[in-house]
Structure 1
Amino acid sequence: MRRHRGYINLGINLGLLACISVTSSAMAADAPSVHVYNWYDYIGPNTLHDFQRDSGIQPVYDTFDSAEVLEGKLMTSRSGYDVVVASNYSLPTLIKAGALAPLPREQLPGWKNLDNDLLKKLANNDPGNQYAVPYLWGTNGIGYNVDKVRAALGDKAPVDSWDLVFNEDNLARLGQCGVAMLDSPSEMLPVALHYLGLPPNSTDPEDYKKAEALLLKLRPHIAYFNSSKFISDLSNGNICVAVGWSGAMLEAKTNAEQAGNGVKIAYSLPKEGAPVWFDTLVLLKDAPNRTQGLAFIDYLLRPEVIAPVSEHLSYPNGNRAATPLVAAATRDNPAVYPSASAMATLYTLEPLPKATERVRTRVWSKVKNGQ
């Protein structure tokens, strides 16, 4: 499952990380090492340096920019990596393929710090929580321009509900100021199904016909489907509503504030429920440096280590003991750390049988083309 990882600074960050990786590779010849594969721009600025200082283990750090790249690397050959950051959506595939090693909890003393409620949700993709440690997580919801939505729908605009974008009357009016949605059938179709009262991970083709009918009715009022363009468009006031990832909406808000352009952005987690996703730390079955890999995972389980990562990236982490160490402005922001009542409404997404995936692909193609 894709999520925003600093698209604007992609070139700079990848170049920097490439240099780190080359330097690390050279140094690793004379020191214990751990080979880590993570999304670009998705770790604290000092985390790797501090890990080496505290453990004496040299991190060799490489990055990827899509879940497809990650799965391709892990499924086709011995990757040479020890620890990988994998989405909860990818876990069933990787587990079934035998790519992951079960995690020995006795070698992870920091496991006790994890949030049990989050572990229960993650268990939908990793039964028994055998293979994955939650790293960072987030939600899919609605980002919106406060003033433009109020102008279009009035003070009682249902900004706390999926009715904002799935009710045709509302969307027709919002379409005048611009509405965008993720270009992702695996993320958008489950939301539409859930809105209709159907299982978000349905395998029934008839359910997808109903979701298709809903989205085709709304299609004339949707400006575009894209998984990155909406961030700058929202922060610049070019659109007024977007369906996407929590972190991306917070970036749009921050960009607008830094630009001083008067655009006020808010993020809503609809009351009916929404997808929750996890990026997890996993140990590969063929990890060449198993002991060092476990040491790296346990290092990130330290509250004082993961709290600054959340602070830097504006994503919550899976470590209950770290929450008090995160700045109040971040931990008290419901767009970052949802309330307990909101958490109870969240659901995880699951890989579906190939036949269902083909159905979803055909439906999405029709929706995007408007026919």
Structure 2
Amino acid sequence: MRLFLLALLLGGSLPLAASQQLNLYSWADYVPAQALQRFQDTTGIQVRYDTFDSLEVLESKLLTGRSGYDLVFPASTSLARAIQAGALQPIEAGEFTHAASLDPELLALLAEADPGNRYAMPYTWGTVGLGINLQAVEQRLGADAPLNSLDLLFKPDYAQRLKDCGIAVLDSPQEVIAIALNYLGHDPYASAGPALEQAAQLLAALQPNVRYVGSARHIDDLARGEVCLALTYNGDAGMAAARAAESGQPFEVIYRIPREGTLIWFDSLAIPVDAPNPAAARQLIDFLLQPEVLAELTNELFFANASLAAEPLIDPQIAADPDIYPPPELRARLFAERQLSLAEQRQRNRLWTRFRTQY
């Protein structure tokens, strides 16, 4: 009888213990530490925070299954693939108290990857644009250089003059090709041969002036002055700017959203289909969607968030920065990531291979 009672006691305690832990998988320092501590103190749920350093690692965990994680932070493209693979649980905005204050325009853009916003809530958002060593570029192009234009990359007259100080391009075929198509006046997701051939010719003209194509190297290279122009994420340019300033470099790294329009990215909150503790994940999503928590995140990391109610709580300098929160006329020219068919992806990968062959 004692053994039976002991087994019953131990067996009954297991679900309780499990319910008090949540396994989180995200970028490093992507949830403010003080906010996470408040969540743990308020709910009693202890959070194990594991980090990834690339979206490929996160995607592999999601698509392989049995990751053991309750809450993950996929970007738009990863989100679309995970939904397509059945790797995420459906969630509804009505489940979350603070979802009502999310910007409907941004939700509509995220719906390109998550139709109906059925699998994810937006966490942060930003753009792909131009990371610039201001002094190096102005030295070569003059003080009236079009810093907010993709002409710096795609017009040979400019790119040839910047070649010696270094141009880097993000190694992301879907994103870069979409941006090139948009620059040419085409649908960013056009699949017609003539539009893609024009994009191929545009990239071919850029190719001799590019120092390299890469995914993270340009952050330190911008900060050290080893490249002067990079087509990159706003967050990467922001890190480069901070590192340049901290190391006392005699130049300033800035970021500009291209006036021609560009891609908007989202990092989202989603629950794996086999999450051990989805109820706790839902509690944390609702906590993270609080305007106070999202404003705290934006004030610390300089990433825009999707909560309209958070805007009054954001540092006025950040809220007024048009390269973090673009004005309506520029925001109207942003386009979202979209899931392409396998045939379209292969078509673009072949184009990209032609472009980056020499790197």
TM-score, L = length of structure 1:
0.87
Match of 1:87 among 75, 81, 95: 75
In structure 1, C-alpha distance between the alignment counterparts of 2:24 and 2:358, rounded to whole Å: 42
In structure 2, C-alpha distance between the alignment counterparts of 1:133 and 1:309, rounded to whole Å: 16
Contact 2:170 2:213 in 1 (8 A): yes
The corresponding residue for 2:101 is 113
Match of 2:300 among 296, 306, 312: 312
Q: Give the share of equivalent positions with the same residue, in percent.
A: 40
Please list, as runs of the form range in 1=range in 2, the aligned pairs for 1:167-186 lying within 5 A after superposition. Answer: 167-186=155-174
In structure 2, C-alpha distance between the alignment counterparts of 1:30 and 1:213, rounded to whole Å: 56
1:214 aligns with 2:190: no
Q: Residue 164 of structure 1: CA displacement? A: 1.4
Please list, as runs of the form range in 1=range in 2, the aligned pairs for 1:99-178 lying within 5 A after superposition. Answer: 99-178=87-166
Q: Which moved more, 1:57-66 or 1:312-321?
A: 57-66
Match of 2:21 among 33, 36, 41: 33
Contact 2:152 2:158 in 1 (8 A): yes
Q: Residue 125 of structure 1: CA displacement? A: 1.3
Contact 1:134 1:281 in 2 (8 A): yes
1:226 aligns with 2:214: yes
1:325 aligns with 2:325: no
Q: Residue 333 of structure 1: CA displacement? A: 1.7
CA separation of 1:105 and 1:188: change in aligned 2, threshold 3 A: closer
In structure 2, C-alpha distance between the alignment counterparts of 1:181 and 1:285, rounded to whole Å: 35
In structure 2, C-alpha distance between the alignment counterparts of 1:239 and 1:92, rounded to whole Å: 33
CA offsets, 1:228-265, max 9 Å, x none?
12112212222211110101111111222222222112
Q: Aligned to 2:249, what secondary structure does the other structure show? A: coil
In structure 2, C-alpha distance between the alignment counterparts of 1:145 and 1:63, rounded to whole Å: 30
- The letter of the residue matching 2:192 is D
CA offsets, 1:17-51, max 9 Å, x none?
xxxxxxxxxxx947622222212332212232221
Match of 2:187 among 199, 217, 234: 199
CA separation of 1:272 and 1:30: change in aligned 2, threshold 3 A: closer
Aligned residue pairs total 344
The corresponding residue for 1:6 is none
Contact 1:236 1:263 in 2 (8 A): no
Bigger radius of gyration: 2
- The letter of the residue matching 2:220 is S
Q: Aligned to 1:280, what secondary structure does the other structure show? A: strand
- The letter of the residue matching 2:353 is S
1:350 aligns with 2:333: no
Match of 2:178 among 182, 190, 209: 190
Q: Which moved more, 1:56-65 or 1:111-120?
A: 56-65
Structure 2 residue runs of 5 or longer lacking an equivalent are: 1-15
Contact 2:167 2:229 in 1 (8 A): yes
The corresponding residue for 2:45 is 57
Give the aligned CA root-mean-square deviation in angstroms.
1.9
The corresponding residue for 2:32 is 44
Match of 2:260 among 253, 272, 275: 272
In structure 1, C-alpha distance between the alignment counterparts of 2:21 and 2:194, rounded to whole Å: 52
In structure 1, C-alpha distance between the alignment counterparts of 2:233 and 2:261, rounded to whole Å: 14
- The letter of the residue matching 1:350 is R
Structure 1 residue runs of 5 or longer lacking an equivalent are: 1-27
The corresponding residue for 1:363 is 351
Q: Aligned to 1:148, what secondary structure does the other structure show? A: helix
TM-score, L = length of structure 2:
0.90
